[in-house]
């Protein structure tokens, strides 16, 4: 291949790390690298829950793409991907078309609402800077409206979070810290505010060990969060949500339902004709699609099976970053005519934050962490990522050092 | 009268100064003083436009009543006044009833919408802490929604201000400073935002001299404000406003119409059976109602005629404070059995702020002031009021010294 066009779709964890690794390992005369993204910034979706709760400003969570890419090596196009044509090796954008020799699909996730009535129209999801700051403003607006209405509406003060997985729990932890501030700001009695979590499994954080779960439950309940398990949301409307538990339907008045109970791969992948399983491409060991030797998939759009457990590897930021490193390496191999390597996930553990200085997690060979120690670990993971993305300077600029100062 | 019950309704400029003056001039054994107000704070309504635009936090504009009154002399009741019965000398509250020997009505103003279709339901007014922070949040919420909708709505970014008098112009001046910040916060192109003023007269600030008006027009237009004069709002709906100019009707898409073109006295005065002119009580020279020797009226609920011009004295904060000083003096005279004095308004001039460090005004025998000099004068007037209300300490705490630091 003489100076191939490498096109990377999406500037999430997978797309960004692929781009950064490629701009380091390939010379400008070896390949044309193009990164395409809807926004001119990258954001760390694992921190969006803080922007949504209003505890951290969204500018802390996003990084201008131009600050990370080397302009002499990478061309950046700000546009929305509409479709991929893998036969013609073309990507259709809102405002044009791009041809590729090698493609990386890192188009991320979107909310999956499983056909639940009204959920797509009336619930919010924490999946972008735009949606996160809208949730922040939506909550504030309802608190502001509360004291302006003759007939006070409890629905304005109730916040329902659907799903008690990682995102749901982390958002609840931030809300628990934020709500007292909001009550002061809008002259509202804190006792009037309800924060309700509805989880389908028999516990929150179903993938965590029971000791960690217990710690998390105590932390959240002590701050007034109501945890309802073994329950499922049946319907969501503008001013209420209906859930079912033990065969009984309950209606909760709320203007704010945040849906954190399901994600799916970006629909464009399936719509573009790739073979998919639950919307994801079950990639080969070298992270390429089964059908095309020139198309790689990373992050939420890729389905990677764990050879030992024969179960899908979780689609976390950690795994997306690992995949992207391999994809960059394999693209270089493809360009140089060398052999491609296979992906081997390295699960380093997970930490769930529970608020400003509280968290639970498992790291390094099942070591359990609680409280501020777990939070420091979460920050270290974050800072390591930033170092990988933009070096020491970016880590200092955007890193999390709350507990050290 | 042996230890009369003096009851003051409303903790606006008039009610607060009456209370403060009375607690200074009467001994605890000479009278029972009761102040009744809806909120447990006093606010300076002349600065609410800054809270509404989001340029100053509302906590800068309000003062806890308990910080000002002497608890051993004044009883404070937080409740809403429902009706006054001047025959029985009783005030009906939401949650009880209070008897008085001497009453001061300082219940302030509310928006007058003149029957314009949809205005009461769909427009906002700058008349309380609650309404001001709702405007701030409403604007932010619409900016946040803008980038979250597939079909972008210009109505979310257009802000229409009805009325180009003092409040309207001061709000426009703050908006002009605030909107660029909002555009950065929500990733919106500033050129997309329109701020439109609709004024019925042939100019904004119709009571100001032409040189000052010209200065104000230049200041606002240079920052992108659109001033439409000789025009009147005909209808206001959730997503648009209709105005008429030169016999032609124009529809402007907007989710945010702020009505600053008309106020009226609190309706309770008229509903309680007092003789009113346009809802106000045309008081005697000593500030008492024509019918009752034990009822005083201050501020927006009082109509005071200027003896020289035979026109009503403007219902400004400045005049309310002067009235309150006299009312306190006359109440003391009433208690002591002395002669009551008559009110003589002293018009010291007016300053209209145009934003952070810009203003126009006339002070002391028609001296015109522009720019930061006018703004310093506005701050001095404000600080003088705070000194009168709560002494040096309150002035230092809440005073405006932006230009001096």
Chain B residue numbers touching A148 (CB-CB < 8 A): 130-131, 134
* Contact present, A63 and A41 (Cβ < 8 Å): yes
Question: Among A40, A125, A138, A141, which would you mutate to test the B interface (most chain B Cβ atoms within 10 Å of its Cβ)?
Answer: A141
How would you classify the pairing of strands A32-37 and A5-9?
parallel
Residues in chain B within 8 Å Cβ distance of A133: 144, 185-186
Cα→Cα distances B302→B168, B264, B385, Å: 23, 11, 20
Burial category of B238 from C-beta neighbours within 10 Å (exposed 0-12, middle 13-18, buried 19 and up): exposed
What residue in B sits closest to A39 (Cα-Cα)? B187
Measure A141 CA to nearest chain B CA, in Å: 5
Q: Is the predicted pLDDT of residue A308 greater than 90, yes or no?
A: no
**Mean pLDDT confidence for B280-285:** 96
Identify which of B133, B136, B147 has the shortest CB distance to residue A130: B147
Q: What is the DSSP string of A354-381?
A: EETTEEEEEETTTEEEEHHHHHHHHHHH
DSSP secondary structure string, A318-331?
HHHHHHHHHHHHHH
In chain A, residues with a C-beta closer than 8 Å to the C-beta of B186 are 133
Q: Tell me the helix, strand and coil percentages in chain B, rounded to 5.
A: 35, 30, 35
Edge-to-edge strand list for the sheet holding A96-99 = A81-85, A90-93, A96-99
Contacts of B144 in chain A (CB under 8 A): 130, 133-134, 136-138
- Domains defined along chain B, listed by start: 5-38+79-111+264-347 (3.50.50.100), 113-261+348-405 (3.50.50.100)
Taking the CB of residue A181, how many other CB atoms lie within 10 A of it?
Answer: 11
The one catalytic residue among A170, A199, A356, A382 = A170
Q: Which residues pair with A362 in a beta bridge?
A: A350, A368
Choice among A254-263, B194-203, B365-374 with the minimum mean pLDDT:
B365-374
Residues 6+ apart with CB under 8 A from B200: B163, B229, B230, B231, B232, B261
Bridge partners of B252, per DSSP, are: B241
Lowest mean pLDDT among A216-230, B137-151, B348-362: B348-362
Known catalytic residues of B are 170
Q: What angle do helix axes B371-398 and B317-336 make, rounded to 10 degrees?
A: 40
> CA nearest B127 in A: which residue?
A148
* Residue pLDDT, tens place only, A358-382: 999 998 778 899 998 899 888 888 8
More reliable by pLDDT, B310 or B404:
B310
Give A77-127 pLDDT, tens digit per residue.
Answer: 999 999 999 999 999 999 999 999 999 999 999 999 999 999 999 999 999
Mutate to test the interface with B, among A187, A188, A256 (most CBs of B within 10 A): A187
Tell me how far apart the alpha carbons of residues A327 and A324 are, in angstroms, rounded to a whole number.
Answer: 5
Rg over CA atoms, chain A: 22
Considering chain A, what is the average pLDDT of its residues? Answer: 94
Q: Is the pLDDT of residue A268 over 70?
A: yes
pLDDT at B225: 97
Closest by CA to B48, choosing from B163, B168, B160, B138, is B168
Average pLDDT over every residue of A8-21:
97
Query: Residue A220 above 80 pLDDT?
Result: yes
Quote the pLDDT of residue A256.
98
**pLDDT (mean) for B358-387:** 89
Q: Kindly give the residue spans of alpha helices, DSSP state H, lying in B186-248.
A: 210-222
Which of B141, B148, B185 is nearest residue A141 as measured by Cβ atoms? B141
Query: Could you report how far apart the first and last alpha carbons of chain B are, in Å?
Result: 51
The answer to whether residue B405 scores a pLDDT higher than 70 is no
pLDDT of residue A1: 55
How far is C-alpha B346 from the geometric centre of its chain's CA atoms?
A: 19
Size of interface A-B (CB pairs under 8 A): 43
pLDDT tens-place string over residues B113-144? 999 999 999 999 999 999 999 999 999 999 99
**Residue (of B355, B356, B359, B354) closest to B371 by Cα position:** B359
Which residue in chain A has the smallest CA separation from B134? A144
3-state SS class at B76: strand
The rounded distance, in Å, linking the Cα atoms of B114 and B200 is 13
Residue B257: pLDDT above 90?
yes
Of A100-109, B42-51, B309-318, which gets the smallest average pLDDT? Answer: B309-318
Using one digit for the tens of pLDDT, what is the confidence trace for A141-171?
Answer: 999 999 999 999 999 999 999 999 999 999 9
As a whole number, mean pLDDT of residues A298-316 equals 91
pLDDT band (50, 70, 90) for residue B403 = low
């Amino acid at each position: 291949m003489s100076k191939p066009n490498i096109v990377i779709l999406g500037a999430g964890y997978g797309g960004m790390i692929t781009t950064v690794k490629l701009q380091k390992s390939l010379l400008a005369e070896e390949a044309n690298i193009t990164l395409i993204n809807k926004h001119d910034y990258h954001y760390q979706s694992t921190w969006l829950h803080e922007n949504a709760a209003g505890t951290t400003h969204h500018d802390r969570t996003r990084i201008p793409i131009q600050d990370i890419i080397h302009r002499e090596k990478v061309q950046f196009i700000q546009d929305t991907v509409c479709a991929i044509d893998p036969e013609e090796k073309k990507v259709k954008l809102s405002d044009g078309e791009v041809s590729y020799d090698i493609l990386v699909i890192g188009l991320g996730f979107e909310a999956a609402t499983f056909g639940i009535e009204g959920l797509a129209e009336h619930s919010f999801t924490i999946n972008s800077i735009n949606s996160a700051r809208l949730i922040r403003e939506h909550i504030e607006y309802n608190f502001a409206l509360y004291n302006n209405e003759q007939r006070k509406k409890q629905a304005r003060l109730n916040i329902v979070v659907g799903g008690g997985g990682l995102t749901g729990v982390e958002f609840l932890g931030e809300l628990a810290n934020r709500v007292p501030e909001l009550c002061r700001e809008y002259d509202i009695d804190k006792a009037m505010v309800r924060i309700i979590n509805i989880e389908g499994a028999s516990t929150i954080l179903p993938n965590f060990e029971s000791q960690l779960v217990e710690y998390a439950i105590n932390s959240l309940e002590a701050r007034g969060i109501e945890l309802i398990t073994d329950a499922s949301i049946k319907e969501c409307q503008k001013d209420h949500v209906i859930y079912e538990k033990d065969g009984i339907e309950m209606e909760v008045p709320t203007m704010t339902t945040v849906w954190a109970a399901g994600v799916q791969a970006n629909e464009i992948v399936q719509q573009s004709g790739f073979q998919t399983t639950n919307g994801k491409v079950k990639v080969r060991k070298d992270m390429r699609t089964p059908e095309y030797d020139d198309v790689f998939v990373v992050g939420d759009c890729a389905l990677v099976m764990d050879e030992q457990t024969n179960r899908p590897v979780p689609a976390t930021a950690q795994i997306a970053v690992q995949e992207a490193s391999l994809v960059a390496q394999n693209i270089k191999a493809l360009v140089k005519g060398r052999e491609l390597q296979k992906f081997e996930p390295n699960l380093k553990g997970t930490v769930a934050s529970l608020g400003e200085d509280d968290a639970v997690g498992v790291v390094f060979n099942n070591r359990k962490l609680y409280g501020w120690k777990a939070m420091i670990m979460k920050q270290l993971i974050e800072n390591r990522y930033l170092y990988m993305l933009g070096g020491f300077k970016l880590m200092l600029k955007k890193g999390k050092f709350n507990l050290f100062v």
